[in-house]
Structure 1
């Protein structure tokens, strides 16, 4: 009988089981270069490397520590591929010239992509180096910017693990001081004068700052889950973790704006001693936990668990940290998806590509030259379109072959969640019982399922593209994709305008989310897109919700526009001619429309069909009932 899944087993299956290799970066562990170099006799031996090797702890003291770690990874089923790197070793080429330069963090990180797990020693320089983990922090910054890495065990011999974690976090975030605007700085200057005067009177002792504002409190207010408004609101009310600091400020007579500036002052003074250690920017997705039992941080590109050197199961410590993070069911599925691609993806890929004649036809179409008269830019985009289509179909085929394994894992998640009392939903940190939160979640979901991600590159005008005019009007391209490709016969107009591409544009109007209910959402008359600047979800409809109460629901507003440059979209702009009737002539003003979003094809097709329904509606010859007022 299969053992029931638990959250712990899901974490192991999603994050630990896929690990196959580990790279240990530690200046006191033996490397292959050192071991092999020690057996070389005569001038061929690298003397600088041998001298460094003989000074390491594993040679001078006891090799049991590195041996135990190596054995731990070797004993896994299957055993790990293990490599050890000395980030402080001199490069052989430079050693010949008599210098012993250390490898830079960027040079090291550039070749740290070959392992699934990085075990990083925090004290690379040793106590004698006096740099206090600076080298390790540099490496950590580079590794978390490397798209190949996602799991790191930061291994340290220091007793104060909280201090180590604080230093690492500081190296990954921008200081608050650097973000203070002119108004805050001016208010601080005034407060500094007052505090100096109070200190001269003996009523204020700035050296007590660490007592009221220790490092752990600094991390509390920097936590991305807490907004600055929430932090300052609690402080001004003398509530929460900042109550003691508020009391200190109140005791020395600070009120109102000066009391508010006192928190800015505490932050600035706390950051002063390590201002140079901060990063230029805050790393994307940075969050952390610094509890007594577990210490970890994560970013958009990595997860770091902090552990002390000594006896202990490193992989178990990593798993406990991952469990404490509480990844959502969606993240578990995503991690398992990556594993499935690596483990069975090759076989699935081979199976999907086995039909040689089929894919020969694909490639023949890709190599097919552009039609005569097509602009070079359009020919390039046309080939890119074919390649994207090929990749999309191939990805779909591979995903189809591995989806059963992912469905099975998804079932385990649901079963484990039920056994745990439906606790996994809380991992999202979202309260869907709140009506406002629920409505926003529905809007985001609708946008996700109906629109495609946008890329900052040139594109070809396509069905489903949503464009915005400078005057605020919204339009959706409602012409089938096949009629928009370069070289196709033009629609709506005669002639052979090779650089012009007519298309049907249907007007959309912004809708207030509060005016919509489920009947509106599922009517097919609306779409949900994310504003690329504000990241807010916008609802756009064919008509306002008020107009939806009228019976002529098929009527829409559409126009024939003409895209220049064969519909080439550059820097998010598409140059369009907007034909407009004058008294006796047609006016042809031009405008650069802004590309905001693109609907998936099945959602775009719904709007294309609306144009057909609008122009083919019957009943145009019927007589209307008289108005009630007229009938009287």
Structure 2
């Protein structure tokens, strides 16, 4: 990672740090001073013997030009004292109570965490791991530096194993049972052999091997040679059929992770990546909600350790963008708040509408107001974030130009940047080689899905909601003002109380490759409709292939089109009961059929961004209002 890119990582992640909390039982604290004053017989561990080391760390965050609010916490002092007013020690607290130690740690931007927090036990890091688990359960993105007197190659595996949650992909009891049956029924099986093939394989699984399987998958362990050599040797030695190798190896890893002595986390902390610190690179662990760096005590500034670990991780430009948005909101949110709130009269009218409206339309009004205020807030911080991204892009372009100058040192004219250089830069930043056609196709597909669709929102049916009815997909295109429950007149001949009438256009699923080739024909949309599946994306054509006109229909949504979200607003499909006038099957005693209001169960599976929904509405409107001309087509 070049220094230029590292400086942008620092701007995004380190410059916004304002508060630092040190958690170490060998540092002086206010709690410890008060506790000693209350009980003269109790005293905090004597920190005066290493006061210079303590002062060195504290001065890093208290020096001139350091805008940090610094606090120190001794986790051996837990709130709540027993009858003799003696502070409770961490070792006297049950495992279930340990996360309480970290309740207030969530409010800090940077946590400095000592690995050895158990009094009198320098080998035990369980309390530090418990605190790390607690902060990674918090939705606030936490930065943490774990420092220790122990060797990092001893500490890192203990922390990582304590943060990982058992991988469900390793667990497949039924498949393993079938594989065992086939093995036991084969002529290779020796019932008297001890240990059996399962325990023999499990004995090969160390923490290091387990980490590799978690990061690379099982493939390396079922291939003869490399990491899998010893596994394959045992499988062959026992006579296991090659078709069952993967199942037996997965079972061995599952046995390892279910062994309580290995100390895996009971909660999925969403650990996304890690670096074990080999070949001189700094060790680190990243989850969706935090980043942990590691260093030995007395080995230089802690911020330097954090800076090097973040650079080793190399967050992508898109993550830097998102991080800068968050940092700018934290830094300038109060500054722009008054401008964001706008006119007091408008706000008063908004609140009057809310308190008067006791229908479900209130939720809609709240969502719309929040969305408008959020847009205004983003508009306020946009110039600063855009400036940051422009500088980042220009710095990356400058590195490409420098490479071009080196490549064409003898050239008289400036050497243009070749397209391959851009592709290499993208590969460096994202780890994706877009010179490979399949990866470029996926990148274009994912881009189209991102710009065209959005997560499903709303408390009722909205313009752009995509419904799956049986195996067909329909997109609601009625104006959103006509879809608010309780609003609109129901005195039309084809209106019914409690049923929200809406117009939807049929979406014909097509091959993704076809849609990508004809993406600019204004006939295709790209959606994520299969939540949780390996290939969740689909492409749809919104005009009928034979007539080039949209196929549309009128539907009626039950309960005025209200949507009922679960407590956790996941992106699982939302159920909705609808009706439509449909032709019955012809009766046996009659050649003509008749019609009925058929009830259908639908689910809202996706949502078009509003501008894309309006584009479909325009296409539909053009089809409905077109003028018929009396031309004749040649047969």
Q: Is the structural similarity TM-score above 0.5?
A: yes
Which residue of the partner structure matches residue 51 of structure 1? Answer: 42
Partner of residue 128 from structure 2, selected from 136, 148, 159: 136
Per the TM alignment, residue 144 of structure 1 is displaced from its structure 2 partner at its CA by 0.2
TM alignment of 1:345-364, pairs within 5 A = 345-364=333-352
The answer to whether the 8 A contact 2:341-2:347 is kept is yes
Q: Deviations over 1:181-231 (max 9, x none)?
A: 233256469989968856689xx9x89987x655323211211xx343xx2
Determine whether 1:155 maps to 2:157.
no
Partner of residue 284 from structure 1, selected from 257, 264, 270: 270
Pair 450,190 (structure 1): closer, same or farther in 2 beyond 3 Å: closer
Cα distance in 1 for partners of 2:136, 2:348 equals 40
Q: Which has the higher contact order (CA 8 A, sep 6+)?
A: 1
Per the TM alignment, residue 491 of structure 1 is displaced from its structure 2 partner at its CA by 7.7
Q: Deviations over 1:2-34 (max 9, x none)?
A: xx9811211111111111111111122221122
Which residue of the partner structure matches residue 283 of structure 2? Answer: 295
Which residue of the partner structure matches residue 340 of structure 1? Answer: 328
Which residue of the partner structure matches residue 525 of structure 2? Answer: 527
Pair 35,189 (structure 1): closer, same or farther in 2 beyond 3 Å: farther
Cα distance in 1 for partners of 2:341, 2:507 equals 42
Q: Secondary structure at the residue paired with 1:128?
A: coil
Give the unaligned 5+ runs of structure 2.
401-421, 566-573, 585-591
The answer to whether the 8 A contact 2:189-2:238 is kept is no
Which residue of the partner structure matches residue 398 of structure 2? Answer: 419
Cα distance in 2 for partners of 1:194, 1:333 equals 58
Cα RMSD, aligned residues only: 3.2
Q: Secondary structure at the residue paired with 2:88?
A: coil
Which shifted more, 26-35 or 327-336? Answer: 26-35
Which residue of the partner structure matches residue 21 of structure 2? Answer: 23
Q: Secondary structure at the residue paired with 1:237?
A: coil
TM alignment of 1:562-601, pairs within 5 A = 562-570=556-564, 572-581=574-583, 586-601=595-610
Q: Deviations over 1:63-120 (max 9, x none)?
A: 2222211111112623311111111214353253668353633212322122101111
Pair 5,134 (structure 1): closer, same or farther in 2 beyond 3 Å: closer
| Alignment coverage as a number of residue pairs | 583
The answer to whether the 8 A contact 2:485-2:560 is kept is yes
Q: Secondary structure at the residue paired with 2:325?
A: helix
Cα distance in 2 for partners of 1:428, 1:415 equals 17
Determine whether 1:366 maps to 2:375.
no
Per the TM alignment, residue 488 of structure 1 is displaced from its structure 2 partner at its CA by 3.3
Cα distance in 2 for partners of 1:171, 1:462 equals 45
Which shifted more, 242-251 or 530-539? Answer: 242-251
Cα distance in 1 for partners of 2:39, 2:461 equals 62
The answer to whether the 8 A contact 1:328-1:425 is kept is no
Q: Secondary structure at the residue paired with 1:619?
A: coil
Determine whether 1:614 maps to 2:623.
yes
Per the TM alignment, residue 354 of structure 1 is displaced from its structure 2 partner at its CA by 4.9
TM-score by length of 1: 0.84
Q: Secondary structure at the residue paired with 2:111?
A: strand
Give the unaligned 5+ runs of structure 1.
371-375, 628-632
Pair 558,362 (structure 1): closer, same or farther in 2 beyond 3 Å: same
Which shifted more, 71-80 or 555-564? Answer: 71-80
TM alignment of 1:29-48, pairs within 5 A = 29-38=27-36, 40=37, 45-47=38-40
Cα distance in 2 for partners of 1:482, 1:268 equals 54
Partner of residue 146 from structure 1, selected from 130, 138, 142: 138
The answer to whether the 8 A contact 1:250-1:259 is kept is no
Partner of residue 7 from structure 2, selected from 6, 9, 31: 9
Cα distance in 1 for partners of 2:603, 2:201 equals 55
Q: Secondary structure at the residue paired with 2:222?
A: helix
Per the TM alignment, residue 405 of structure 1 is displaced from its structure 2 partner at its CA by 0.9
Which residue of the partner structure matches residue 307 of structure 2? Answer: 319
Which residue of the partner structure matches residue 105 of structure 2? Answer: 112
Per the TM alignment, residue 538 of structure 1 is displaced from its structure 2 partner at its CA by 0.9
Which shifted more, 276-285 or 5-14? Answer: 276-285
Cα distance in 1 for partners of 2:263, 2:134 equals 15
TM-score by length of 2: 0.83
The answer to whether the 8 A contact 1:5-1:413 is kept is no
